[in-house]
Amino acid sequence: MKAFAGLHPAVTMTYFVLLLTVCMFLPHPVLQGQALVCGALTCALLCRRGAARDVGFYLPLFLLVAVTNPLFSHNGVTPLFFLNGNPVTLEALLYGLSLAAMVVGVLLWCKAYNEVMTSDKFLYLFGAVTPKLSLVLSMALRFLPAYRRQARRVSRAQKAMGLYAGSSMVCRVKNRLRVLAAMVTWSLENAMETAASMKARGYGSGKRRTHFSLFRFRPADGAFFAALLLLAAAPLAAAAAGALNFTYYPRLSQLQTTPAAWVAYAAYGLFLLLPAMWEAKEALVWRCCKRKI
């Protein structure tokens, strides 16, 4: 999704902050279901290679969260069945599904954030305000994927050397500890090289730091920014007015079907689809340009 990632960092950061705020702090089943579905769609557009691996992680996580709540929480007035003398209620089950949708939806959108908001964008936004903190965070965010890639290289190299011949639990633990020892050494060496590089470039000398960036706020960024603010304001205003009130305990309340609620549902759905629609718009423009050549 190069078109969405090409927007100004302030625009994309505002988008994800508003999205995660609504997703985490408005526990409404319609909004959480929309966030889950659109998050899966956005991640499919961003990370096409690891789709099967993601399904193998997020689906069991969704089921685990959804099943855990009714097993340990017995609130509600509509029992479905009894397990070891404890009621499993409809309200607890639906609340577990809602909680699972919220957790998995937030994780999916955080993954999309990691694909769009790179370390240079983060430094561009917060380098002037908190230079040391932003530098530490950008280095930490960059270190995690680099650590994973290096661990895979070490594991493949050790497999090629024949160190993974055994299949018992003891052999697997020894192999993992061997990889961990190699990664600790690599991490220390990488830290020393980073420190030497920063010292050679004058970091910490007390001189005023300069920043270089290619980011420019264009009219397209302004249009996208205005659209996301307008669409995000609808669910927030509806929630403030009480049009999105919904309770699970002790009894399920009815979904709001007022005009304000329907406007909030539609606006939030369009808000979540903004990255996909922006990408589709850019793809359509590109096709039209290719036809004119």
Please give, one letter per residue, the 3-state secondary structure of 7-30. CCHHHHHHHHHHHHHHHHHCCCHH
**Domain contains 208:** no
Residue 213 inside a domain? The answer is no
- Identify whether residues 140 and 11 lie together within a single domain: no
The pTM assigned to this predicted structure is 0.74
85 and 129, same structural domain? Answer: no
Task: Kindly state whether residue 214 falls inside one of the protein's structural domains.
Answer: no
Which residue, among 31, 19, 98, has the nearest Cα to 62 in the 3D structure? Answer: 98
Neighbour-count burial of 271, counting CB atoms closer than 10 A to its CB (0-12 exposed, 13-18 middle, 19+ buried): buried
Residues 18 and 112 in one domain: yes
Q: What share of the chain is helix, strand, coil (3-state, %, to 5)?
A: 75, 5, 25
Structural domain boundaries enclosing 259 = 2-118+220-292
Q: Clarify whether residues 26 and 105 are in a common domain.
A: yes
Q: What is the pLDDT along the chain (293 residues), one digit of tens a residue?
A: 577 888 888 899 999 999 999 888 888 889 999 999 998 888 888 776 666 677 778 888 898 888 888 888 778 788 888 877 778 888 888 888 999 999 999 988 988 888 888 777 877 777 666 667 767 777 777 777 788 888 888 888 888 877 766 667 777 788 888 888 888 888 888 888 888 887 787 776 666 666 666 788 889 889 899 999 999 999 999 988 888 888 888 888 888 888 889 999 999 999 999 988 888 888 788 888 888 77
Q: Which of 167, 200, 233 is the last residue of a domain?
A: 200
The last residue of one of the domains, among 200, 235, 265, is 200
Q: Are 20 and 106 in contact (CB under 8 A)?
A: yes
Residue 207 counted as domain residue: no
Q: Indicate if 10 and 107 belong to the same structural domain.
A: yes
Buried b (16+ CB within 10 A) or exposed e, 28-44: bbbbbebbbbbbbbbbe
Kindly state whether residues 101 and 226 are assigned to the same domain. yes
For the chain, what is the domain count? 2
